[in-house]
């Protein structure tokens, strides 16, 4: 048996990849074609395959993007469409393919990698760490209040994009984790909306003041993005417009302390943890250099050093704290403590990093 691991080289090989994905996931190939071909960052070299006896038998897709952790920007390798033909399972093709793709990601100087999975143990063996995301749900009905004078809620139009992009950019500066989006990316998102996808904008005297993106299915509405300018009343108006009498459960995929929670203070919000997200540090040197550029040297750490399994924080050239990659990333990205952290660790991290709410918008999941 001959086995080759590499990125694909031709569009014909990409067609073979679509055939494999359709068979393994039992989904129409159009789903995968749109996911890949509509991504402005897609290149053939980001699709990795295992070829057994001349036939593509396993596949892994890398989705390149950037996230903001103000004032820093990190290059991230999203991992998705990981699949192996049933006849080739048990040959460890997936693990071996993941190792090859990891080497390439290191060569390309990606800082981090993010993936979403229901089988975390598979990726834990390769160094990814589960970092849960916290969200809320509630049971609500639209109560149909009149909009304030001068404010209109309308479906998005392509002509709204410049104002929407500015709102998104400004709102993202308050958060850790949002994806950097180009105009091409925004346009592709609008063009690829499905029947269950909804995108509304709020306009006050013909100026866009905010927008909401949500999905509806099975009497449930998922609020997957909600950004606005200074007019906080816009948030609740958009929320009202998204609701209808058909839905009774609302899932809020929003960052902690989002302005909408203030408007819903009279409601019972049920918190829950989403356990599918996993992170990994790819380029230790690049990640470390960026973090060290950010560190405040007056109160907290002076610098960090990233090793294979832990991160040391230094003060006066002595190790002041030692954390696992998982614990460090949990605090660095989300500002959350873990049960493994000591009281000293927590105090040092709080003195070193500015806390911002975290969100990787669900509308950007791959």
pLDDT in tens, 327-345: 999 999 999 999 999 999 9
- 26 lies in the same domain as 40: yes
- 17 lies in the same domain as 66: yes
- 110 lies in the same domain as 172: no
199: in domain:
yes
Confidence at 298, pLDDT banded by 50, 70, 90: low
279: in domain:
no
363: in domain:
no
- 111 lies in the same domain as 151: no
Name 153's bridge partners: 202
Which two structure tokens, joined as six digits, stand for 117?
């999975």
Q: Name the residue with tokens 């190792």.
A: 99
- 226 lies in the same domain as 328: no
240: in domain:
yes
The pLDDT of residue 316 is 86
CB within 8 A of 223, min separation 6: which ones?
A: 212, 213, 214, 239, 242, 250, 251, 252, 253, 254, 260
| 36 backbone dihedrals φ, ψ, rounded to 5° | -95, -50
364: in domain:
no
CB within 8 A of 145, min separation 6: which ones?
A: 240
**pLDDT above 90: residue 51:** yes
Q: What is the mean pLDDT of residues 98-102?
A: 96
Q: What is the mean pLDDT of residues 208-228?
A: 95
281: in domain:
no
270: in domain:
yes
Give me the domain span that covers residue 317. Answer: 295-352
pTM (two decimals): 0.93
**pLDDT above 70: residue 23:** yes
Distance CA 329, CA 294 (A): 15
Please tell me the total count of domains within the chain: 3
């Amino acid at each position: 048996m001959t086995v080759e691991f590499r990125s694909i080289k031709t569009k014909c090989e990409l067609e073979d990849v679509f055939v494999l994905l359709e068979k393994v996931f039992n989904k129409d190939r159009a789903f995968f074609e749109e996911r890949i071909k509509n991504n402005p960052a897609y290149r053939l070299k980001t699709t990795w395959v295992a070829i057994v006896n001349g036939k593509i038998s396993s596949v892994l897709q890398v989705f390149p993007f950037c996230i903001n952790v103000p004032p820093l920007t990190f290059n991230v390798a999203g991992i998705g469409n990981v699949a192996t033909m049933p006849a080739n399972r048990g040959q460890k093709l997936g693990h071996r393919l993941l190792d090859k793709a990891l080497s390439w990601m290191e060569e390309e100087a990606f800082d981090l990698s993010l993936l979403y999975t229901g089988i975390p143990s598979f990726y834990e063996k390769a160094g990814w760490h589960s970092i849960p995301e916290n969200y809320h749900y509630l049971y609500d009905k639209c109560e149909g209040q009149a909009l304030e004078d001068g404010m209109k809620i309308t479906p998005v139009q392509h002509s709204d994009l410049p104002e929407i992009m500015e709102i998104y950019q400004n709102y993202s500066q308050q958060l850790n984790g949002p994806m950097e989006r180009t105009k091409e990316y925004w346009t592709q998102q609008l063009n690829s909306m499905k029947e269950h996808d909804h995108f509304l904008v709020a306009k006050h005297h013909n100026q866009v003041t905010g927008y909401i993106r949500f999905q509806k299915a099975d009497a449930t509405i998922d609020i997957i993005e909600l950004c606005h300018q200074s007019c906080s009343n816009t948030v609740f108006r958009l929320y009202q417009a998204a609701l209808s009498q058909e839905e009774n459960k609302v899932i809020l995929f929003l960052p902690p302390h989002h302005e909408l929670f203030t408007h819903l203070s009279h409601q019972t919000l049920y918190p829950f943890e989403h356990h599918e997200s996993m992170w990994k540090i790819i380029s230790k040197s690049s990640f470390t250099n960026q973090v060290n550029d950010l560190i405040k040297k007056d109160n907290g750490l002076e610098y960090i050093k990233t090793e294979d399994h832990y991160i040391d924080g230094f003060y006066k050239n002595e190790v002041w704290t030692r954390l696992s990659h998982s614990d460090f990333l949990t605090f660095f990205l989300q500002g959350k403590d873990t049960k493994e952290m000591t009281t000293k660790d927590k105090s040092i991290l709080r003195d070193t990093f500015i806390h911002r709410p975290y969100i990787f918008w669900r509308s950007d999941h791959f």
